[in-house]
Structure formats: structure tokens, C-alpha cells
Structure 1
């Protein structure tokens, strides 16, 4: 463990410095966007001040998905037996329990930390290395926690909505948490050696995209707006442990639907 943190220390320092600079800048930008717009100009939404740019990135991501990722995911759903597909999803979900545990501890959520340890122990020991989710059957449902949620727990503001190339919907807080979870905090992925880790990540991405295909039927109206609303609602739901305090984007019943995997 000491060797793990020694190897990650330079990366952790870089990320923490980036967070220290990026969050105040993004919040200042969002605050600036809240100022009254000049007469005759189109008002800027304070939660999505970069909408014009975000829509261009959304179109780019959608094109990549339509021509590359989605066809692969559809083939995966067609030729992979449901039992194997479920096992692959369970396996990758089990790897996230170390992340859930670490961030539960950082958020002072003792019960969630115990649940994460219990889930990983049960699923790894009795679930064939995580292929079977026996923990849920033992009344230990997953409690997802990430560093973006940890930042929110300690009062860090979300910042403006961002659509990132390849990565999809995000915010400065969410993206900072993503980087920290991936490079600064200990992860079960550290046990996977190259080049196997790249193959495993590719399978994980395809499996996740395949699981999202049925959710596409819920999308209605403007796809960009729907995805944005669903993502922001889902993040608020997770950060507040299931309590949605406000819904700044809700404008209809369809847009109140949340896609669990966003």
C-alpha cells in the first residue's frame, strides 16, 4: 500500500493543484454569466453558460457513438448471452467498491463504508470473483460514492455544465472527481497489468454502452437538453443521497426522468 501511494503521489499533487485553480475559475465564470445580459442579446443560462460550445461537442460525441460505439454495443447485446452480460456488469461494478469505500470514509459515512467492504467481500468470495451480485441478495445494495460526491459533500460548488469530448456530460466538480478517482486514490484497477487493463477497460465501456441502449427510448424532445437535465438531476440525487433539493432544468414530465447510468 505504501508503494501504491508513493507511485501516485506526483499525480495526486498535480490534480490537487488543478482543482485548486480550476474550481475558483469555473465558479467565477458561472457567476459572471449570471450578470444581466446587454439589451437585445440572448440571455445566457447560468447553469449552462457554454451551451453553444457544449452542443458542438455533443454533436461530435453523438457522431462517434452512432458510427463506432453503438454498433459495437448492439453487436455485444445480440451475441452475448444475458447471463454472461450480467456477470460482466457485476464484475466491473464490484471493482468500484474500493472507490465507494474510500469516498464513504472521506465523507464520514461509516455505514456506507461498511456496506462497501461487505459487498466486495461477499461478491468476491461467494460471487465467483464478483460475477454474481450475492451482496444485494443479502440486503446490501450498492451505495455509489465518487470523489465528485465527496467534493460536493464538503461544499464545493458544481460549476457550469460541460460536455466533454468522448467523456460526455460533466461539470468541473464531476470532472475533478473523475480525475482524482482514476489517478490519485487507490483503485482495484491497480492490480491489472498492461496491456490487459486496456482490454478490460474497452470491455467495460462496451458493456456500459450496451446497458444504456434500452434507456434511449426515454429520450424525447431535444436530445442535448434531455441528457443535460438527466445528468444534472442524477448528480444532485447522488450527492444528496437520494434527496433532490431543487430541479433548475425541469420543464416537463419527460425531463424529470433520470437515467441511472449517467
Structure 2
């Protein structure tokens, strides 16, 4: 398990670029802006033709309670991976809390369909491998817009790749359950696109420069979540850092 993970980390981090010594850490470092803008236009086209129509249709057809249950189920399946990242970050409290949350929701929440743990005040303490790299002191690197996946940074992109390996459930669940979990995750993201359609549309289609707007929102939001940068508040209406356009 760990050999391919750390090989992936080393390979991807080796390609990270760093700004000069006079760069403002709260500013924008985007040396590949031309390529990023091309990817942004690709993502906008995919969103306009496929993702947005599916998202809006999904939220119209699927009742809100069922949408919430699918989202809860997907989130619950991701908790063991979050626990791994909590431990890698030395966050023992987060690892314990998320482990309890997983057990409660898996049992009392009928496999995670209901947020029973939330009813007891046991909320998730978030953790992904991009955050782990931040805790380990790895620099943010350049801003990138990934095809399909959307806004990111080089450090966060490495984290996304490594998170594919860090969830223990992926090594123990039968194939059928894995497919169900993947389908629930995709459905949850599609539902988010429909649920936050107005907010996302205002960025992608109603702003003078949707690329710059999305980039600024992503960077401010991501840095705020990491406790880095000078963001005054969490401005995350539609999770640009966890879903593509």
C-alpha cells in the first residue's frame, strides 16, 4: 500500500514549481495561466453541456431527503481515509472523533445513510492529504486548473492523487460495494452542482473573467481551511476545492 503512495508523492512533488523569494504568500502564483485558462474553458464547456444539466435535473427529480442520504453515505465511506490523514497530521483528537463518527453512522445511521453522529454533536474534523502536506511544511506550489476536476494547487493536486490510496476501505470492500460507493460519490457531486447552481452559475457564466474569479475564490477558501492566508471568513458556497465544474 505505502510504496506506491510515497512513490506517487515523490514523483508529483518533484514537478512542483516555486515562486521567487519576493512573492506574497497570500497572492496568486500562476505561471501556467495560459494552459490553465484552456483547461478552464474545457471545464466550462463540459459543465454547460453535461454537468449543469445533470445537476439541475438531479435536484428536481431526487427528493431533498434522499439527496441528503446519498451525500451522507458517500461522506461516511470517506471517513476512514480522513482518519488516516488525521493520524498523519498528528491530530489524535480528529482521528478519534472521526472514528467514533464512522462507527455511529455505520451502525445507528444504517450504513451512513443518516447522520446519527451529527445528532449527538459528533461532527467531522476534515482532513485530506493536501492538508497533510501543508502540515508537513510542503509549499503550496503553483495554481493549476485540472481538466474535469477544476481549481487546485500543485500541493492539493498531489493530495488528490494520494487520497486515492489512503482509504483503508478500498482495500477491504468487495468490488460491488466499491462501485456503490463510487456511484454515491458521483451522485453527491452532481447533486451539489444542482443545489448550488445559482452560486456556481454566477461565477462561471455571469462574471467578466470567470477564470480569475474561480481562481481567487478557490485560493482564498482553501487557505482559510488550512488556517493559512488572511481570509476573513469561509466563503465556500459550493466547494470549488472538492468538485470539478
TM-score (norm 1): 0.78
Q: Is the 8 A contact 1:104 1:113 kept in 2?
A: yes
**Structure 1: distance between partners of 2:42 and 2:146:** 10
Q: Which residue of 2 aligns with 1:261?
A: 239
Q: Which residue of 2 aligns with 1:223?
A: 210
Q: Which residue of 2 aligns with 1:133?
A: 115
Give 1:166-205 correspondences, 5 Å limit.
166-183=148-165, 185-194=166-175, 197-198=178-179, 200-205=181-186
Q: Which residue of 2 aligns with 1:14?
A: 7
Structure 2 unmatched runs, 5+: 241-245
**Structure 1: distance between partners of 2:229 and 2:6:** 33
Per-residue deviation, 1:75: 2.1
Q: Are 2:188 and 1:207 equivalent residues in the alignment?
A: yes
Q: Is the 8 A contact 1:95 1:189 kept in 2?
A: no
Q: Are 2:131 and 1:149 equivalent residues in the alignment?
A: yes
Per-residue deviation, 1:82: 1.5
**Structure 1: distance between partners of 2:106 and 2:2:** 29
Q: Which residue of 2 aligns with 1:245?
A: 229
Distance 1:217 1:74, change over 3 A: closer
Quote the RMSD (CA, aligned, Å): 2.6
TM-score (norm 2): 0.83
Q: Is the 8 A contact 1:212 1:261 kept in 2?
A: no
Distance 1:156 1:150, change over 3 A: same
Q: Are 2:20 and 1:31 equivalent residues in the alignment?
A: yes
**Structure 1: distance between partners of 2:21 and 2:3:** 33
Matched residue SS, 2:145: strand
Aligned length, in residue pairs: 231
Q: Which residue of 2 aligns with 1:119?
A: 101
Matched residue SS, 1:47: coil
Q: Which runs of 4+ in 1 moved over 3 A?
A: 189-200
Structure index of larger Rg:
1
Q: Is the 8 A contact 2:13 2:155 kept in 1?
A: no
Q: 1:142-187: per-residue Cα shift (whole Å, max 9, x none)? A: 111001001101211111110011111111110111111112x233
**Structure 2: distance between partners of 1:20 and 1:76:** 37
Per-residue deviation, 1:132: 0.3
Per-residue deviation, 1:229: 1.7
